[in-house]
Structure 1
């Protein structure tokens, strides 16, 4: 007896499948025979993927600058797992962990190398904020929660310290089992070439399609040689849309050259969720139809590619034994005006509408699902 069977779900490649869940895990896929405590029939009308992972959010509610509630940006919008990208450092990570235990959404953290986290905009302007022992102890206390570290390497954050905080971040990384390192890029100094040349396999460049002068493209629209070298070494690209870090034009030119993101993330917090241009991860994902990506490519960026990059084993894949984290959604063929972080607009023809999230086998109807009375019992 299964706990839940979802019948006739449409996958990103267009095929249909049944999915059986038992004890919080995917038990079977395909033409599932047998009974379940609960069944849901999608009738081939609705799409299903592994649970969406937003690999760059800000959801520490007590943060004075970038904050939100995990479920508000998580299961209520079809996202089963969120990864907070450096809102907290060693000082507040334990409090953040305790708060997240009450969330239905699964929450993980990238620990800011500055012990205060993002309490001010310039947390790395004082090198004394970087406490290696504090980071090491926090990682030891919360190994299942802290899954990487975060360094914000733009001029407004590092002040006069230039590349020095990144050198320290790499030392911290090597001293802590080579945890994934996410590096925020923005205005220089430090120059992006200097940043990219320090990164190694598995490191993540976030805000990869920002429109600032210190961006991944040269003035002539070619990919910087330093980024080409970094990608060849196995460095990963994360979107991290945010309020000021996504340009349609940069994304379009890069993707046309085959420079696709490894992960699509929102960099969401309360203000850009309410006022835009982010709104939800689904809204950010929908923008990528307009810059040359397909539905399977987009879904890959929030499922197995996100899980692989952050070593979230058991997530991001539809296979027996994997965590029963699923997102059920619709693809609306209707026009929508999308706006990037530069204020530029693009008219899109497709929108992703998340209808339900399943976390460890537990079913949650999203805000959109409730609004459209989908799956009403």
Structure 2
């Protein structure tokens, strides 16, 4: 007996498949699956399905004084099955965040800020005394399946007079755990060249296509040598759109040079969700349609790439044996205006529209199905 059979689902390559789910896992995929099931969802060759979308840079600690949101509002209600909070909390408030995260239907993970206070203030790395390595290690040991990475914000407004020192400290702290390190790049100092030259394979540069003076291109609009070398070493590029950190022009120039982000993420929180320019991960993904990215590249950037880079096991792939985290969506053919963080507006003739999230709870051997607002309008029917 299956828990759910999804019939006639389109994959991103336009092939159509049935998917059988049991005990929170995908157990079979075939052109036709016949068998007893508690529930059946027929997508009628009309709607797309992929592995569940993973937003690898969000701010979803609801009690943060600076950047806050509810995990389910940016997660399952927006077609996103897993969200990664990028440094909202440090060692002194990770307990509270963990307790809140357990109440969400969305899978929630954390990149722990190297500052013990997290984002209690904008300048969390201006005082090196706030970097408490023993306390940090205790938090990692306490939540090994929740804390999946380390976050350090390397902007002048964050580090104050400390320059590159917080990153040097972060790299030291990383050696013990081996976790991915995400580096926020923004306004200098420190200079991007100084930051990039310290990074090693698997480190993540977020806000990689920002339009600030400290961007990946120099004044002659050429790729900085430090960034070229970092990419060659295996440093990861993450979008981290946010309110101030994505430029169509920079992204377009990068594409012309064959430089693509490994992951597409939103840097979403309540303000830029409600008032833009982010709105949702789907909206950020749509911006890459108008930049000429293939649908497959975009989907891979929020599924298998994110799961692999962040070492999230059993997720990100639509295949038997993986967790039944799935996103059902449309690619709607209609013109939409899209705004970057620099105020530039571009048009797309297509847009990603999430309809439903299916989230596995492998511990309880069950799945949860959450329709988005658009999914309810489309009247997706799940029969018993």
Using structure 1 for the length normalisation, give the TM-score. 0.98
User: C-alpha offsets along residues 205-229 of structure 1, whole Å, 9 cap, x if unaligned?
Assistant: 0000000000011223222111111
Cross-structure match for 2:11:
11
User: C-alpha offsets along residues 312-350 of structure 1, whole Å, 9 cap, x if unaligned?
Assistant: 010100111111000000001110110000111001111
Please give the residue correspondences for 1:264-275 in structure 2 after superposition, counting only pairs within 5 Å: 264-275=264-275
Contact 1:111–1:150, Cα closer than 8 Å, also in 2 = yes
Distance, in Å, in 2 between the alignment partners of 1:290 and 1:349 is: 8
Contact 1:54–1:266, Cα closer than 8 Å, also in 2 = yes
Cross-structure match for 2:110:
109
Cross-structure match for 1:248:
248
Contact 1:206–1:238, Cα closer than 8 Å, also in 2 = yes
1:69 counterpart = 2:93 = no
Cross-structure match for 2:375:
369
Distance, in Å, in 2 between the alignment partners of 1:343 and 1:372 is: 32
Distance, in Å, in 1 between the alignment partners of 2:262 and 2:14 is: 22
Any idea what SS the aligned residue of 2:231 has? helix
Please give the residue correspondences for 1:1-377 in structure 2 after superposition, counting only pairs within 5 Å: 1-31=1-31, 32-176=33-177, 178-360=178-360, 361-375=367-381
Greater than 6 Å deviation, 4+ residue runs: none
Distance, in Å, in 1 between the alignment partners of 2:52 and 2:92 is: 31
Any idea what SS the aligned residue of 2:110 has? strand
User: C-alpha offsets along residues 140-178 of structure 1, whole Å, 9 cap, x if unaligned?
Assistant: 0111100010000011100111100000000000022x1
Contact 1:357–1:365, Cα closer than 8 Å, also in 2 = yes
Distance, in Å, in 2 between the alignment partners of 1:297 and 1:44 is: 22
Structure 1 unaligned spans of 5+: none
The alpha carbon displacement at 1:14 in A equals: 1.0
Contact 2:42–2:382, Cα closer than 8 Å, also in 1 = no
The alpha carbon displacement at 1:376 in A equals: 7.3
Any idea what SS the aligned residue of 2:148 has? strand
Any idea what SS the aligned residue of 1:231 has? helix
The alpha carbon displacement at 1:292 in A equals: 1.9
Any idea what SS the aligned residue of 1:296 has? helix
The alpha carbon displacement at 1:115 in A equals: 0.3
Distance, in Å, in 2 between the alignment partners of 1:111 and 1:138 is: 9
The alpha carbon displacement at 1:295 in A equals: 0.6
Contact 1:151–1:182, Cα closer than 8 Å, also in 2 = yes
Structure 2 unaligned spans of 5+: 361-366
Any idea what SS the aligned residue of 2:285 has? helix
Any idea what SS the aligned residue of 1:194 has? helix
Any idea what SS the aligned residue of 2:169 has? helix
The alpha carbon displacement at 1:364 in A equals: 0.9
Distance, in Å, in 1 between the alignment partners of 2:35 and 2:257 is: 48
Contact 2:151–2:182, Cα closer than 8 Å, also in 1 = yes
Contact 1:77–1:368, Cα closer than 8 Å, also in 2 = no
User: C-alpha offsets along residues 66-105 of structure 1, whole Å, 9 cap, x if unaligned?
Assistant: 0000000000000000000000000000110001111000
Distance, in Å, in 2 between the alignment partners of 1:219 and 1:336 is: 32
Contact 1:89–1:117, Cα closer than 8 Å, also in 2 = yes
Distance, in Å, in 1 between the alignment partners of 2:250 and 2:380 is: 37
Contact 2:282–2:354, Cα closer than 8 Å, also in 1 = yes
Distance, in Å, in 2 between the alignment partners of 1:376 and 1:217 is: 50
Distance, in Å, in 2 between the alignment partners of 1:255 and 1:7 is: 37
Using structure 2 for the length normalisation, give the TM-score. 0.96
The alpha carbon displacement at 1:257 in A equals: 1.3
Distance, in Å, in 2 between the alignment partners of 1:363 and 1:339 is: 31
Distance, in Å, in 1 between the alignment partners of 2:197 and 2:123 is: 23
Distance, in Å, in 2 between the alignment partners of 1:242 and 1:376 is: 35
